Amino acid sequence: MIDRFLKALAKWYNKKCSTCNTSHIEVIIKSNNEKTSCLECRNQIIFGKILLKKIMFFMKMNIDDISNLSSDNKVMPLINSLFRGIGKYGLKAIKIGTPLYVVFDITAKCNLKCIHCYSTTYHEELKLNDVYHIIDNLYEGGAGMIDFGGGEPLLRDDIFDILSYSKSVGLYTSISTNGILLDEDCIKRLKTLKIDHVCISLDGAKPETHDYIRNKNGTYEKTINGIKKCANAGINTQVSTVFMNSNIDQLEDLFNLLNLLKIDGWYVYDFIPAGRGNELKNEILNSIQRQQLFERLQNFAASGNMSINPYPYSITINSACGKDTYFYKKYGRLTEFFKGCLTARWTCHVSSNGDIHPCYLLPHKLGNLKQQTFQDIWFNKSNIVLKELRDRKQLKGDCGMCRYRDVCGGCRARAFYSTGDYFESDNCWIKN
């Protein structure tokens, strides 16, 4: 009975206004901070708020937790997709999760050979119609945000057709690139497409550092030029950085540089030795370095104009932060709902041949989206990998004993590449 009620309610929240084409859930959430001029939408707010509070209580969340984030352009597509998933799958969409965020590596071709790259297996590219089919399938499966990567996605001749199709379906659409191919024509086409954001990799504040990690001289200057062009064109410009022993000393210099470049956001990762990076065990940050990195990022985030997204630290916010700290105030209650590590629950990875994996760093194949539907793969009770990754009771070591186990879960990819077992502890600095 509860399941049917939730499905019907979620479908209502996903309905769009016939006047302004805004979903009911978006109008209601944003009504806390801004008023709508649409009469049809105003009529939905009072009724919708009362019921939404009940749903939020069931999810152990508060409507204010998401209202305060509604100005972030990534948040509403994810909320819409969550309610779309609940409308289709009911309680399963909450207990198991749906792929709110998908990394789709659209090609294995690349113009660089980065020393830390997780993508080292060559797959023959999907044909355009197969890509469209997979995008449709992911949307129907509950996806809200899709990031096209590679390889280097701009090497595909049809990449703009793919991005345009993804946007037309209704997905928040971004592209991750090394920035080398971001010339004037490319920028203009991305702007015309209204790409939701472009994420450009920058792994050093000094040319020699970035070029060393990217394994090619001259890439730093081209990458910086790409960032400037995107930002100057008014495109939402994000930068991603992987920190390792070779560049951790440039953290503050990078932060200052990105502020000068006036980017919109910074995705920060610490190195996990997947793929080609498996040979670089000496580059892995130790637990003290990781703690210091997280604490400094928190100070940067509180003082800067750009949004800072610390991965995989975003899964440990509940255990790593006091409740009066910046990241907890911004994300804490959300991580309690999503329960930390998103792998095999709220995120997945699709390779250039259609294979689907729990996340982009875990090589375990779950199925292939050319041959199976997403729903058949994701809700397959006999899939051992999915069953295991969703069961926190099987975690070992410090993660298994940690009082934050069920709201964190550690990083399963870090555990896998450190020990060969994704159940093991992930070398976290939090000790209980």
pLDDT in tens, 181-216: 999 999 999 999 999 999 999 999 999 999 999 999
Neighbouring CB atoms inside 10 A of 368's CB total 15
Give Cα separations from 274 to 54, 270, 384 (angstroms): 42, 12, 22
Residue 120, pLDDT above cutoff 80? no
**The pLDDT value given to residue 30:** 79
Question: 22: pLDDT confidence band, cut at 50, 70 and 90?
Answer: confident
| Token reading at 89 | 């799958």
DSSP 177: E
Beta bridge partners of 343: 347
pLDDT (mean) for 410-429: 91
Question: In the block, which residue shows the tokens 């509860």?
Answer: 2
Cβ(344)–Cβ(385) below 8 Å: yes
Burial call 156-181: b when 16+ CB within 10 Å, e when fewer: beebbebbbbbbebebbbbbbbbbbb
Q: Which residues contact 411 (CB under 8 A, 6 or more apart)?
A: 272, 312, 315, 341, 426
The answer to whether the predicted template modeling score (pTM) of the entire model surpasses 0.85 is yes
Question: 429: pLDDT confidence band, cut at 50, 70 and 90?
Answer: confident
